[in-house]
Copies of this chain bind each other. A is one copy, B any other.
Amino acid sequence: MSLKFAFIGAGNLATHLSLSLKINNYQVVQVYSRTKNSAKILAEKLDCAFTTSTKEIVNDADIYVIALKDSVFGQVLPQVDFNKKMVVHCSGSMPMSVLEKYTENVGVLYPLQTFSKNREINFKEVPVFVEGSSAENEKLLLQIANQISGSVSVLNSEKRIYLHIAAVFACNFVNHFYTIAYNILTSENIPFEVLYPLIKETAAKIQITEPVKAQTGPAVRFDENIILKHLKHLEGKKNYDELYNLISKSIFEHHQKRN
């Protein structure tokens, strides 16, 4: 018999992870979400049951996967009867130990990717980091992770938070700068598409060249003339001048120390 999973949470991560388990022949028996629509949509994709009540969460799953916002762990989890089964969360910045009050067999399965519901992801290419509360639990999580991903490592909670922080810089903050570039261009009636080749090359280059050595632009050359012109053109555009100034200084400091 294959392992039975219950999903607590039906967001972007829950969607991609549960579907990936299903296509690798694991059973997902139930989805819980506070939001009926989210629970229903995911349950339909998985062809399984759903509930919006913590009291109705099944107590015979083999593994409960917690894919909730960190901030609601404390509201939701005390209401669930885990029946001493294994409980695993998927959070980058929560230590594994937060689960220990609910059951003895706990672990973490952290997929390092940005998930959007309507965008397909090849899970085989998503690096997955696991941690288990015992050698046996860790072995089981490694086995599962290796079924769904081609890149699996063991990583403890202390290190995982640094991985999450690095991902915030390399993904969330990067995406915000795409947003700022988008806003600057569209306010001048220049299509954002003109940046696609630059964005692609910037992301590709660091796979060949260490990022600090790939740095180009006015800040690394300390081209004060350009920097001041840009700051002037950013005046009155949200806090873009403040961001521009702080990041330019940061770039310059990194490179000054290298010279």
Contact = CB atoms under 8 A, between A and B. Distances in A.
Interface of A: 12, 69-71, 93, 112-116, 119, 121, 125-127, 151, 153, 155, 159, 161-182, 184-185, 187-188, 190, 192, 194-212, 214-221, 223-226, 229-230, 233-234, 238-239, 242-244, 246-247, 249-251, 253-254
B170 A190 contact: no
The binding surface of chain A is classed by DSSP as helix
Contacts of A215: 172, 175-176, 179
A83 to B, nearest CB: 28
B71 A224 contact: yes
B199 A203 contact: yes
Contacts of A127: 194, 197
A230 B161 contact: yes
A218 B165 CA distance: 10
Given A93-B229, A196-B207, A174 B172 contact: no
Contacts of A172: 215-220, 251
Q: Give 4 closest A-B pairs by Cβ, nearest first.
A: A172-B217, A203-B203, A178-B211, A166-B181
A153 B242 CA distance: 31
B159 A190 contact: yes
Contacts of A167: 181, 195, 198
A195 B170 contact: yes
B170 A202 contact: yes
A243 B246 CA distance: 7
Contacts of A242: 246
Nearest to A71: B225
Contacts of A229: 93, 161
A116 B184 CA distance: 25
